[in-house]
Each structure stands twice: as C-alpha cells, then as structure tokens.
Amino acid sequence: MRSDNMKKGNERAPNRSLLKATGITDSEMEKPFIAVVNSWTETIPGHIHLDKLAEAAKAGIRNAGGVPFEFHTIGICDGIAMGHEGMRYSLPSREAIEDSIELVLQGHQLDGMVMIAACDKIVPGHLMAAGELDIPTIVVTGGPMLPGYVDDEQRDLISVFEGVGEHKAGKTSLEKLNMLESMSCAGAGSCAGMFTANTMACMTEALGLSLTGCATSHAVDARKTHLAKESGERIVQLVKENVTARKIVTQRSFDNAIMVDMAVGGSTNTTLHLPAIAHAFGLELTLDMIDVLSKNTPHLIGLRPGGENFMIDFDHAGGVPAIMKRLVSKLHLNENTVTGKTIGKNIEEFVIINPKLNKRIIKTIEDPIHVEGGIAVLKGNLAPDGSVIKQAAVDPKMFEHSGPARLYDSEEDAMEAIMNDKIKPGDVIVIRYEGPKGGPGMREMLSPTSAIAGMGLADSVALITDGRFSGGTRGPCIGHVSPEAMEGGPIGLVEEGDIIEINIPDRTLDLLVSEEELQKRAATFKPLVKEVKGYLARYRKTVSSANKGAIRE
C-alpha cells in the first residue's frame, strides 16, 4: 500500500506518533488509508449537504476495513459569481482544486480516495486530480436540486435569470420576479436542469468513475446517501485490487462520455472540461473529435434549458444508464467502471423501474429529438481554431443567420446595452476580451444571454464571445471563439457594423470582410489588456486557449 511509505518500519515511528495524535490506533495502522476529498462549503447550495455524504462515505470505508481521512477543497458557485468580477475566478479555481488534492494526496501518500464534489468547476478539478494521481478513485457527485414551483410551473435558476429580462421588457411584474427569486431554487443540490454541474456529474458516471445512478440521484434522496456509503465500501476493494483511475478511464471512455453528453444535450462547458480531464489522464481530446461524435450521436432527451424536462424527470426515467441503454449500439461496452463490471454489463443489469415514463421522456436513436448531438463546433475566418454552440437549445430558424456586429469589450458593456434597449432583432452581439487570457478567467455570459431570452430576442439576436456560457444558456450563443482577442484572434479585428454569418448545419462562423481588409486591420491591431493582480495575473501567464481546454501550459 502507498501509505506504507509513511507508516511502516522503525524509522517511521515519528510519523506514526503524529498519526496516533489524530486518534489512529495500532490496529488501524494495518488498514488501507482512504482520503475523503470533500468540497463541502456553506456558500454553495450544491454543497451544503456534502458533509452528510462524507459521513456516509466514511462509514462505508470503515465497514469495509479501511481508515478514512477527510479534507476539504474550495468551491465557487457560478450562479453567485455570475455577472460581476467574481466570475473571473471560477474557471481558474479548477486548477487550484486539482493542485490542492494532488498536494495532500502526495504529501500524505494515502492509498485511495472517495471524491465528494458538486458543481461546475469543482467536479472537473477533482477529475483532473484523479487522472494526474492515478490511484484508486471513486467519485460521489452531490446530486441535482429539486425544481422550485411558481405560478403552477416548475422553475429553476434560469427562470430567475430570464425573469430579469422579462421584467425589463414589461412581461412580468416585480412581484412575480420576487416570487421567482424566492422559490425557484428549492434547496440543496446542483441547479435543477442539465446545466454544467449536472452535465459533469453525468460525464463522471459515463466515464466509469461513479456508481450506477449516482449522477441523477438527487441531493435530498436517501439513495444518494446509500450511494455514498456504498462508494466508501467499494473504494477499499479497489485499493486492495490496485484498480487505479487510469485503469478505469481510457480514450474509449471519453468517447462514451461525449456520446452521452450529446444525447442529453449537455453544457458547452464540457468542451473545456473534458479535454482538460483527458489531458490529466495522459490522453488527447480535441474539438474536432468532439464534433465528429456530435454528428453521429442523436439528441434523445429535452432537458432544461434545451427542453421542458428537469433533472428529476431524467432521474425517474432512468438517468445515465437509461440513456446508455438507448446508445448501446454505439458505445464501447468493454470499458471498466468502479463497479468492478464493464459499462456493457452495468447497462445489461440496469432495470428501468418506470418504463412508461422512460419511453415518454427518452427518445430512441431511430426517432430522436435531433439527429445530431447537443453541441456543434463552428469554424471559419472568425474562429479559425473553433467555437462551440449548444445547438440543441437554438430555435431552428436561427440555425442560419447573418447580421451586423454590435461590438463590446466586456460583458458589463454588453449587458448595459441589452438592458437599455440598444439591441435590435437581427443584431449579432460580439463580446470580446473575455477569454482565458483576456478576461482573464473566461467568464460565463448567463446574465446577457438570459436577458436576451427574457426580452423575447432569443429567436432573432445572436451572441458571440471568446468567453463562455453557462450550461443554462439557450439561444444562438456561440462561445469559446479561438484564438481569443487578446491573442490576436480575428474576433479582435471585428468593427461595429461588420456582417457576421452563422451557419450551424455547415459548422461555419465567418466575418464577411475581405482578407485584404483583415490583414490591414491586423497590421495596426493592439489588444486591450485588462489589469489584474494576484492569482489572475499568474493564471494569465500559463493558461492555454479555450480550444485546448484552457489548461495550463
């Protein structure tokens, strides 16, 4: 066992002495030492219950003959950080989380880990650490939030964001907005739709790193506690068998995860996180590889924001294994999972307990919602290295669109224009200098995209940015434009009124300006540099382009 490095032999008497000071007994010294890596915090609804899941996991570890050691990682709530300076710190926190886990696990040489995490950047940070460390690992994702209920309709956080635009447009009263604010987010758990947090939980299960059903079992469901306890028991066996993370996750595992992502209409943020996680596992995943799978994987379930169903509906219909049953003819079935069985065996043994609901909510590959997956990768002279759009959440009449550029060098400037009725149908809003380096930190643009949707412009106005979008964004919103403006990308050369052409079926994004004119503009181009200090200044020096997953180089 790895932990023997710190606890075996006479020369390790001082080490054992310190361990005994924490309460460890002589008999426990002979057992596997298991880290319980917990992102519990009181500042994020997706995390406020994780202390209870950690207790369940620790009980499971003890049941199976292991010794648990809990420590905590940080977390930032994208929703709370949205629309202001705080959002610059969300994506950079992913690497800080990865580093903190590596430091503790390597410093203390623990044998394996149960990761208990939730939400947008926290789960990817944990998965990246799992790939780098390559020790036995099992992940318990915290589970979705129940939807709220206002005016006889189920609601979620996006209802509140879009309510701001609806109120501005005179479509809803201040009283209604206040009701949405108070009742849309129902308590513990990750926001109730297929936004980034729940997408990444689904990716974790599809990769084989969570027990079957973990991704969609809700935060308040006793089943989540059972899964945490069973994960604690299972990790001890994984340690004894030396089944490490890289023995579970392979290149084919990522293919499986992407196909699940496309079928559920997941967040565009997966095109940042999955390449970064693959890199941590010593593998490569490019936007082109993602797009090939998107073109060949149908979209099978209409989940918020691209549909009317909530995560609770998906869970009742069977969750990730139910989607994988639909995709069984396309998946790599021999990939290992933390259950000790292959993906194929897990799918075969999974029982659909609500067959009528399953058939109603989850479509078949012969009769899908869309014949292509939820995400499309667009390229062209405006995005030579690629850009991404959640095509499953776009009105079909906006699949092809051209219009004049309305140019803004920050999210705040664009939001001010939207809220003051400066945007007209047909416009193409361009928000630049919000990329990984230019932001820095690559902020999400949920506030402007939700305002556009709430004001009824989602079927007539497009938004393009070198920043990114929330998993809750809907409409013709194209993000991750690479290269970004600060690196001299063509998005930095756009001028007010330039015509931009979007063609999702053809996967193109073009600035209708001659090459000669673009070269002339490039000759005098000087990027805007936003002054930052501290962590963001260090982050800017090492972060790569969005098309590479915004990993550190």
Q: Active-site residue numbers?
A: 470
Query: Phi/psi of residue 189, each to 5°?
Result: 125, 165
Which tokens in the block code for residue 26?
Answer: 């002589």
154, 180 contact by CB (below 8 A): no
Place of tokens 């596997």: 32
H or E stretch at 274: helix 270-280
Which tokens in the block code for residue 403?
Answer: 């219009």
Q: Measure the CA dihedral 239/241/244/245, to 10°.
A: -90
Q: What is the DSSP string of 380-446?
A: ETTEEEEEEEEGGGS-GGGSEEEEEEEEESSHHHHHHHHHTT---TT-EEEE-S-STTTTTS--B-H
What per-residue string of b and e applies to 234-245 under the rule 16 or more CB within 10 Å gives b? bbbbbbbeebbb
For the chain, the C-alpha Rg in angstroms (whole number) is: 23
Query: What residues contact 229, with CB distance under 8 A and at least 6 apart?
Result: 56, 57, 59, 60, 63
